[in-house]
């Protein structure tokens, strides 16, 4: 029997607000344990939470970017469970009345486009962090993270393969980063994913029993965990068994998923309305204000780059990987007036140099102005494309302008036909035998003569002129 995977992802994104969701404590990562706490986020009796408006701003941004319907009225609920990282004994979340729902994002896998539904997006508070003593003698609790705002993005079970799951995650990730509402750091846990997966016989309409996978801290691990789980469930079903509905943890070192302790599986959250918070009312004016401040989203930017700059979709994808890179490219394209050359130089040399040093475009020593100037110098034939390679590398190492580098190193292209003719006369004279072979039909030797002339001029000969002259001279040789 053939089985088909059914996958639905739940994503938690930590928001880049200054303050926590219900108190004024800082959200900064990496501070002294328990230093960013107050009676509210410590869950002391009698304190009252106050909603941080910024969190709602960010929710509206994400809802608009993922085509969600925004509900005018939503409310908070208490999700009750006992765990030492949750001082109140409940998490303030949203349940019955979510602020955003019925959205979607488009993904592409191996050239196939697909729309993945988003069930809902809601706001909630993060829990604290437990640090377990390696000898098993003690556990420590750090409540700095308690009350840090999260968006939970619940996806529809529309995903049919681990590749689609990774593509969907990458799409959400890039949107959050473009919106500047989440830093997207998976290792530090600011972007987390739980993956629900079940199998069903191909052609079956009902879903099978699912497991929920946790603890994957990279895109790759989400994919690996799903691949493993598909195999595991298939073995069970093929043997006539039944999948147990449970939460399983991905074990990166072992490359397997393992059941989580059973007491945590039996969920009864006893959700009920949060009596200490009023409903959230989002009016049209608020939505409009946020809409006006929205940046162009990655997919729209990609399509515009292809249209406006006539560059391949692949290139547009690379150049829009981050907002900063896209801005850099557009500045070079504008200043040079040559978008295609700009795309090639940014994607070629600039990204290669940056990757070698694991640096982002923000740290690029070559300013858009300098790169654009260099592209214009190639265009007006002051330097050849080959020399430009040397110039770009020197610009990167020194931060100097192309003009400075060209004059310091004497790299100006030779466009004087007289000078090049002299060079060629000498080369043809010294290689009489090869000239004869060329005349006898070995046309490949043309490249050899060009190479010799380039060598003799330190790569500075204007290639077109050189080719022209060489052709004429060879035709006139005896």
Nearest to ligand ADP of 37, 233 (CB atom): 233
What DSSP line would sit under 374-388, residue for residue? Answer: HHHHHHTTSS-HHHH
Burial (CB < 10 A; 0-12, 13-18, 19+), residue 465, is middle
Residue 178 and residue 184: Cα distance in Å, rounded? 10
Using alpha carbons only, give the angle 267, 269, 274 rounded to the nearest 5 degrees.
Answer: 165
Please state the closest distance from residue 120 (CB atom) to ligand ADP, in A: 9
> Considering CB under 6 A, how many residues would be counted as binding ligand ADP?
14
Interaction partner, residue 207 (ligand ADP, Zn ion, none; CB < 5-8 Å by kind): ligand ADP
When asked if residue 201 is in the footprint of ligand ADP (CB under 6 A), the reply is no
Phi then psi for 140, rounded to 5 degrees? -115, 150
When asked if residue 207 is in the footprint of ligand ADP (CB under 6 A), the reply is yes
Q: Where along the sequence are the contacts to Zn ion (CB under 5 A)? A: 23, 25, 38, 40-41
- Residues numbered 6-25 forming contacts with ligand ADP, rule: CB under 6 A: 6-10
When asked if residue 197 is in the footprint of ligand ADP (CB under 6 A), the reply is yes
Query: Going by C-beta distance under 8 Å and a sequence separation of 6 or more, which residues neighbour residue 317?
Result: 302
C-alpha pair distances (Å), 240 with each of 6, 258, 302: 19, 21, 47
Contact string (CB under 6 A) for ligand ADP, positions 350-379, x = contact: ------------------------------
Considering only the stretches 2-10, 91-99, 404-412, 414-422, report the one whose residues sit in contact with ligand ADP under the rule CB under 6 A.
2-10
Residue 344 and residue 463: Cα distance in Å, rounded? 19
Choice from 198, 320, 370, 384 touching ligand ADP (CB under 6 A) = 198
CB 392 within 8 A of CB 469: no
Considering only the stretches 1-9, 275-283, 448-456, 464-472, report the one whose residues sit in contact with ligand ADP under the rule CB under 6 A.
1-9
3 state SS of 103: strand
Burial (CB < 10 A; 0-12, 13-18, 19+), residue 205, is exposed
Interaction partner, residue 41 (Zn ion, ligand ADP, none; CB < 5-8 Å by kind): Zn ion
Interaction partner, residue 370 (ligand ADP, Zn ion, none; CB < 5-8 Å by kind): none
CB atoms within 10 A of CB 63: 26
- Residues numbered 21-60 forming contacts with ligand ADP, rule: CB under 6 A: none
Determine the number of helices (DSSP H) and then strands (DSSP E) in the chain. 16, 16
Residue 248 and residue 210: Cα distance in Å, rounded? 11
When asked if residue 91 is in the footprint of ligand ADP (CB under 6 A), the reply is no
Nearest to ligand ADP of 246, 404 (CB atom): 246
Choice from 20, 88, 173, 210 touching ligand ADP (CB under 6 A) = 210
Interaction partner, residue 336 (Zn ion, ligand ADP, none; CB < 5-8 Å by kind): none
Residue 132 and residue 129: Cα distance in Å, rounded? 10
Please state the closest distance from residue 63 (CB atom) to Zn ion, in A: 26
Q: Tell me the β-bridge partners of 161.
A: none
Please state the closest distance from residue 148 (CB atom) to Zn ion, in A: 10
When asked if residue 98 is in the footprint of ligand ADP (CB under 6 A), the reply is no
Choice from 157, 184, 298, 339 touching ligand ADP (CB under 6 A) = 157
CB hemisphere CA count around 467 (13 angstroms): 4
Nearest to Zn ion of 19, 454 (CB atom): 19
When asked if residue 154 is in the footprint of ligand ADP (CB under 6 A), the reply is yes
DSSP state letter for 264 = G
Choice from 17, 94, 196, 215 touching ligand ADP (CB under 6 A) = 196
List of residues contacting ligand ADP (CB under 6 A): 6-10, 154-157, 196-198, 207, 210
């Amino acid at each position: 029997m053939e089985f088909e995977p059914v996958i639905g992802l739940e994503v938690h994104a930590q928001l880049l607000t200054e303050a926590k969701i219900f108190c004024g404590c800082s959200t900064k990562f990496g501070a002294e344990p328990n230093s960013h706490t107050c009676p509210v986020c410590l869950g002391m009796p009698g304190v009252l939470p106050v909603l941080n408006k910024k969190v709602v701003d960010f929710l509206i941004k994400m809802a608009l970017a993922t085509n969600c319907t925004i509900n005018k009225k939503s409310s908070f609920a208490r999700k009750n469970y006992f765990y030492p990282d949750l001082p109140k004994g409940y998490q303030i979340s949203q349940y019955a009345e979510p602020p955003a729902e019925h959205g979607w994002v488009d993904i592409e896998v191996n050239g196939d486009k697909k729309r993945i539904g988003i069930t809902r997006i809601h706001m909630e508070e993060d829990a604290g962090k437990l640090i377990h003593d390696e000898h098993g003698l003690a556990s420590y609790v750090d409540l700095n993270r308690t009350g840090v705002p999260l968006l939970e993005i619940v996806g529809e079970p529309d995903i049919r393969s681990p590749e689609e799951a990774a593509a969907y995650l990458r799409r959400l990730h890039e949107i959050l980063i473009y919106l500047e509402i989440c830093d997207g750091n998976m290792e530090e846990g600011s972007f987390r994913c739980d993956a629900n997966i079940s199998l069903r016989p191909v052609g079956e309409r009902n879903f099978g029993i699912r497991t929920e996978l946790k603890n994957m801290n990279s895109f790759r691990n989400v994919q690996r965990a799903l691949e493993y789980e598909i195999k595991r469930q298939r073995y069970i079903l093929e043997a006539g068994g039944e999948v147990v509905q449970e939460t399983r943890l991905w074990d990166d070192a072992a490359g397997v998923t393992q059941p989580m302790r059973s007491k945590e599986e039996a969920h009864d959250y006893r959700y009920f309305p949060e009596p200490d918070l009023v409903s959230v009312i989002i009016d049209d004016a608020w939505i409009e204000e946020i809409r006006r401040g929205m940046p162009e989203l990655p997919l729209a930017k990609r399509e515009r780059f292809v249209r406006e700059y006539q560059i391949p979709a692949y290139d547009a994808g690379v150049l829009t990987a981050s907002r900063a890179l896209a801005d850099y490219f557009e500045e070079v394209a504008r200043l040079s007036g040559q978008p295609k050359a700009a795309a090639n130089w940014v994607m070629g040399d600039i990204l290669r140099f940056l990757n070698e040093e694991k640096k982002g475009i923000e740290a690029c020593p070559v300013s858009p102005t300098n790169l654009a100037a260099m592209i214009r110098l190639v265009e007006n034939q002051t330097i050849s494309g080959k020399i430009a390679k040397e110039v770009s590398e020197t610009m990167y190492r020194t931060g100097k302008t192309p003009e400075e580098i060209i004059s310091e190193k004497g790299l100006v292209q030779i466009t004087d036909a007289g000078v090049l003719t002299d060079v060629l006369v000498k080369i043809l004279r010294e290689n009489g035998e090869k000239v004869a072979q060329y005349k006898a039909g070995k046309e490949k030797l043309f490249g050899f003569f060009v190479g010799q002339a380039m060598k003799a001029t330190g790569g500075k000969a204007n290639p077109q002129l050189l080719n022209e002259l060489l052709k004429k001279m060879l035709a006139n040789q005896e």
